[in-house]
Amino acid sequence: MNFETLAQQSISTQHETMAASVAQRIYELRKKSLMESFGGFRNEEHRLEYVASVRGIEFINDSKATNVNATWYALEKMTKPLVWIVGGQDIKNDYKSLKSLVEKQVKAIVCLGVDNTKICKEFGDMVSVIVQTTSAKDAVDTAYRLAESGDAVLFSPAAPSFDLFESYEDRGSQFRNAVNEL
């Protein structure tokens, strides 16, 4: 190999190194601006909203889950053992699609609504603890007593809120307030 060939390879290697350095710098800038743009991101209020962790128990507000499909998504996203707060105005919900998720993850159910007969019937054979409540405060207090450190309390009602609350926002706000009072 002659000197000219070595010089050409050296220049080529320098160009590749320089190009890689420029690419890395651009990537880092993009990565930094992307991280900064997500830094202020907040999940939509009442939709899988982290409320607090109390004594190692996470409380998640999913009051916006006013149907079975939305609750299926919430249950599917959870990775911890759950105390599930569910219920509301019955709109002929079909809970069958939730059964495998409930069987796998839910250790206790806290019903929040006027009539929870259907929920009790659907899940009574797979969840040994089902408790009836009629206020957000009672539901949160009950879920807190049933949960252990490392668990999550998921408030994902799978039903509209109009049996006890003005709206899903009102229901979610009452849940959040009750958690913050623990």
Question: What is the CA angle 40-178-154, rounded to 5?
Answer: 65
**Is pLDDT of 78 > 90?**
yes
CA dihedral sign of residues 165, 171, 175, 180:
negative
Mean pLDDT of 125-152: 97
Six token digits for residue 169: 């926002």
Question: How many CB atoms within 10 Å of residue 123?
Answer: 20
pLDDT for residue 13 is more than 70: no
| pLDDT given at position 16 | 60
Residue with tokens 């350095």: 21
Burial of 33 (0-12, 13-18, 19+ CB in 10 A): exposed
What integer is the mean pLDDT of 83-93?
A: 90
The contacts of residue 63 (CB under 8 Å, 6+ apart) are 46, 155, 157, 161, 168, 169, 171, 172, 175
% of residues, the chain, pLDDT over 70: 76
Grouping H, G, I as helix, E, B as strand and the rest as coil, residue 167 is coil
pLDDT of the residue at 31: 54
pLDDT in tens, 148-175: 999 999 999 999 988 899 999 999 999 9
pLDDT at residue 3 in the model? 47
Least Cα distance to 141 among 78, 54, 65, 45 occurs for 54
* Percent with pLDDT over 90 in the chain: 66
Confidence of residue 10 (pLDDT cuts 50, 70, 90): very low
110 has pLDDT over 60: yes
The 10s digit of each residue's pLDDT in 15-71 is: 565 555 555 566 565 655 545 555 554 567 878 999 999 999 999 999 999 999 999
Is 95 within 8 Å of 123 (Cβ atoms)? yes
